[in-house]
Structure formats: structure tokens, C-alpha cells
Chain A
Amino acid sequence: MSTTVEVSHLTKRFRGVTAVDDVSFTLQEGAIHGLLGRNGAGKTTLMQLLTGQEFATSGEISVLGSSPVENAAVLRNVCFIKESQKYPEDFKVKHVLKSAPWFFANWSQDFADSLVKDFDLPLDRKVKKLSRGQLSAVGVIVGLASRAPLTFFDEPYLGLDAVARHTFYDRLLADYAEHPRTVVLSTHLIDEVSNLLERVLVIDRGRILMDDTADALRATAVTVVGQHAGVEEFARNREVLARESIGGIASVTIAGLTDTERSQATAAGLELSPVSLQQLIVRRTGPMDATTEHTKENVA
């Protein structure tokens, strides 16, 4: 598969802060990517760098074969409505939707109109007067209806209720199936979107922590459930990401089990269940809690 975005040794430093720290990765053409990470991890900065909105301190970015910075030929393929997007003073929703087709060659007015209905957006209201959820809906509609070959969504769900969020996921998936394009979705509602994502990039403190297909990432860990003693016996000397116990039943999440080890666990009467992407990422990017500290001693 070809790549639309290629990044190598990209670093962005602001005064005293390294927001993006020597990262290298590629985005696959025609795939939905999740850019996951905690607040302040560098998600927005990274997307701003990829869309030529921010200047790199060092490193290389290639979007559709060349640098995106001040490159009109590249940027015509890009749509990036930020979570904190500013709109022109006095713009009403209808002005946003009226002007978008002048900039996006693939813009679909029918799709935009149906999305306006889906999100129940007041066209004649000033963007400044919109609620947080309505503001997010404007960004979502532009992002979807633009059908830009490279579309970025920056935490597009802020203020949207569960129904509206699922409308967004459904419309994205349905339209993507008909008009495949490269999508990058930054979010921390990982479980909600995990079924959408083909590839996952996890960024933590400016560094890429994981970069793989969603399926491969899920397979990197497994939860082992069973009688306390049996589970503890099995977990000994293995990398434990999480540990819970209720009464005599224990559950541990273990990283990096081979197929043989999995069969051993099953043979020992233990149950194996897949780990959610969210759990996995929380364990990998969250602060070390008492359980994991304890576990490290075990491992050592």
C-alpha cells in the first residue's frame, strides 16, 4: 500500500517545551488512523505540522510527495478543522457551508445538507453563538463533506452527546466506504472509535509509543481470568499490565504472550479474553500505579 504521509525525525520545540520529539512514521493511503494520546501529548501540534500550519524545528515531512508548508498543490488535498478552530467574525453557519466548496474540489453539497439535518444545526446562527457541541458539528460537517483526500479530525466529538457522536462515526464509516480517503482522527475516547480504526498511532509526551494496525495492537496483550492461585502462578515472571481480583477470582492483563503460552493458560483452566484498545493504551501511557509498581518487583 502506498503512503500519503511520511515523517522522519520530526521535532517541534516551543520555548522550553518539546511538543513533538524526533518522531518517524508513515500514514497509509486510504486508511482511517487513530491518533491517540493524553491531553498535551502533542496530537494537535503533530497535525498542525502535517498540514503546514506549524513550522518544524527539525526533521522531514512529506505529504503526497512533498513538503506541505506553503504548498498549495498539496494543501488543496487537506482539510483540518481544529477542535479550537477560529471562524471569521460574524460568520454564520451558512457562510461556512457556502464557502467550503470554493476550497474543496470534492465537496458534496448533498452530503453536507443531510449532515446539517442529522446534527440539527441552525444554519442562520452565528458561529460565535453556537454551543460547544454545535461548534464541533460544524467542524465534523466540513471535515466529512469536503471529502478531502487527507482529512484530519481533531477531537471532533467535544460537546457532542452520545447519539451525535455515533451519528458522526456512522456517517464517517459509510462515506469512507464509498469514497475511501486517508483520515486521521485524534481522540481520547478510544473505545468508541476503536472499531473504526485500521491503524493506531499512540503519542505520549511528543513521542510515538505505538504504531501498528489496531488488530495487531490488540493482540499484544491478553487478559487472563481464573482462580487466584492459578492466575498468579501463570503471571509470575511475565509482564503484567493490570491486575484485579474479586474474591477468589483474579484477572491480570499480560503483555506479549505467544501462542504456546496461550495454549498453556487454557490448558491450566484459565480463561483468555481480548484487551480493549483503551485499556491497553491507558496501561501504556498512564502513570505507574501501585499495582504495576508491585508487578515490576515481581518481574525483576
Chain B
Amino acid sequence: MRTLDTADVTTTVTPTSLPRRVRAMVRLHLANPMTPIYMPLMILSFIFVANYAIWQLVASAGNGDAVGNMNNGGVGFVVIYMMVIAVQTMNSTFPFAMGYGVTRRDFYLGSAAFFVLLAVGYAALLAVLGVVERATDGWGMGAQFFAPLFVGDIGGHGWFYLHLTLLLFFFFLGASTAGVYVRWRANGMYVFFGSLVVAVIATIWLIIQTDSGDAIVDFVTDAGLFGMLTWSLVVSAALSLVGYRLIRRATPRA
């Protein structure tokens, strides 16, 4: 039988600061940059090039005016893609990080930092491309892709704010919904989506019964585009808090 002096035993490692732990978690998310960065950029490029080809085709057919009316919302895939990333993060990176000895708190703070980082990066990229699009008069063809005309001429900062708030909303919508799954599994999902349907119907019913449809329209009109985007930040913050509360009580399952 082996006997050892306690002095020989691998000593415990020194604790690290919260920022370092959060940073390690962000790096874990970026360990394989294919999913969060390369893939969406490739898809975005592909959609853009495909659209460009179609604009050329339409323009060469002598329908130059028609190009200006085409807008298929191709850029919108980015927010949906990011929501899926948030869902995968909660579902599979969470149990993995726990195996690495990461606390739920550090995991969530690191993941939230990762989401904010991605949101800022993509918002900046899309805003720049939107500005270029306007500056080149729609890639020389009056086309609209990164800066759809119906939104209005809101400028680089405007586009940045719009993309940033939308991305944050979808990240934390994904994180909190997946949080319900990680916390309560399939049963949680049934109850959640059941309650959601009930809540939506109840809200519509309430709006009709109290005759407050006009008031809501007034509220949205008064707030304007940027007012509403700012309101979405409040919702995103609430969702991120919900996700945090769920993960703090979740256990990794097979």
C-alpha cells in the first residue's frame, strides 16, 4: 500500500478573480470560432452575393426601378442564428463548463459577456455595411439589403443601435427560453409554451375588452422607432435576469 506525506499531495490551486473566470468562459465559447463567427459571416456573404446576382439580373432585364423595391429581409437571419447559438450555449456548453469546475454564476456571466460581445460586433459590422450601402446608392443599383429603406434614413449610429438592441433581445430570448428547458426539461417546455399561448390570448382579450388598442398604438407612435428599441433593452435585461435565475438552480443532465 502506498503511503504519502500530505506535503507531497498536489496542493490546491489558487483562486482566480471573477474577471479572469468570466474571460475564460468567453474564450471557451470562442474556442471553436466556426459556429459563432465564420459560419454566420459565410451565410451572410452567400445571401448577399445571391441577392446581388438577382439585382443584376433584374437590372439587365431593363427593370432597374424594380430593384429598389426588392427587400427580402435576408439580413434578418443573423438575429435568428444568434438566438440558436444562445439556445445551444445553455443546452450543451452549460453541462460541459460544469465538468470543468465552472460555477453556474461564472458560466452565465461569461455567456452573457459573450452574447454582448457578439451583439456589438455584428451590430457594428451590419451598421458599417448599411452606411456603405447608402453611400453607394444601394451598391450602385438602388438596392436595399443592410439598410432597408422602410426603416428610414437613421444613419450609422441608428443602424448600430437597431441591430444591437435586436441582437441582444434575441440572444436573451434564446438564453431564457433554453434556461426553462435546462431547468425543468420537457415538462418545463410544455408548461412554458402552454402558459405563453394563454398569456397571449389573455392579453389580446384584455386589450379588446378594455378598448385599449388605440392607447397601445399611441404609445408605440409616441415612443417612435428608437423609443421602442430602448424599451426592448428593458425586456432583454428582464429576460437575462430570468435566464440567470433559471441556470442558478439548474443541474446538468445527460
Contact = CB atoms under 8 A, between A and B. Distances in A.
B105 A102 contact: no
A70 B101 contact: no
Contacts of B102: 72, 75, 103
B254 A103 contact: no
Interface string A74-108: 01111111101111111110010011101111100
B31 A179 contact: no
B9 A29 contact: yes
Contact of B27 (A77, A99, A215): A99
Interface stretch (A52-60, A115-123, A249-257, A273-281): A52-60
B15 A54 contact: no
Interface residues of B, number: 42
Interface string B19-61: 0010010011001101100000000000000000000000000
Contact of B96 (A73, A85, A180, A213): A85
B15 A86 contact: no
Contact of B2 (A84, A103, A104, A198): A198
A92 B34 CA distance: 11
Nearest to B21: A72
A2 interface: yes
B111 to A, nearest CB: 11
Nearest to A176: B2
B33 to A, nearest CB: 10
A48 B251 contact: yes
A104 B89 CA distance: 21
14 contacts: A1-B6, A2-B6, A54-B251, A70-B104, A72-B21, A73-B15, A88-B93, A89-B92, A95-B32, A102-B27, A104-B101, A106-B13, A149-B10, A180-B10
Given A55-B249, A75-B102, A89-B35, 4 more contacts: A48-B251, A72-B18, A180-B9, A180-B10
Interface of B: 1-2, 4, 6, 8-16, 18, 21, 24, 27-28, 31-32, 34-35, 88-89, 92-93, 95-96, 98-106, 248-249, 251-252, 254
